[in-house]
Structures are given as C-alpha cells and as structure tokens.
Amino acid sequence: MSELDVLKEKIAHMKLWLGIFVVTDISLVGWFAANYTKAEFLLLLLDSAAILVVSVLIWVFNRKIEAYINQLRDL
C-alpha cells in the first residue's frame, strides 16, 4: 500500500470518528437543553463535562485531519 493510500485511509477513518463525535456532542447538548430545569445538578455537571470533552475531541480530530490533508498536498 502506498503512502498516499495510507493517508487517505487515515483520513477516512478519522472522518468516521469525527462524525460520531459530532453526533454525540449534538445529543449531549440536546439532552442538556431538554432537561436543565428538571435534572439533578450532578447530571447537568457531568453532561457539561462530557460536552466539553467531546468538543475538544472534535477540535483535535479536525486539526489532525487538516494536517493529513496538508501532507497529501506534499505527495
């Protein structure tokens, strides 16, 4: 397998996980919006922490994908 094919597969795999993280983040925000008045404080706190963690993961994966795309330009 050539280096070009390997990079393309890495990008495709990371895009899959990026999509999963985005859907998860949207779901967590939706749950928070629907339940912020009736949920316990601990659950809201944990949900907020999960939103933060998943949002950071989205940012990190997006940066890595951009770096791989830039590597494709050099090939």
Rounded to whole angstroms, how far apart are CA atoms 16 and 3? Answer: 20
Domain range for 52 is 3-74
Q: How many Å separate Cα 39 from the centre of its chain?
A: 25
- Overall number of domains in the chain: 1
pLDDT in tens, the chain (75 residues): 788 999 999 999 999 999 999 999 999 999 999 999 999 999 999 999 999 999 999 999 999 999 999 999 887
14: left (phi over 0), alpha (psi -120 to 50) or beta: alpha
* Residue 66 Ramachandran class (φ > 0 left, ψ -120 to 50 alpha, else beta): alpha
Q: Please give the structure tokens belonging to residue 19.
A: 């999509």
User: What tokens were used for 11?
Assistant: 């990008």
Q: Which pTM was predicted?
A: 0.88
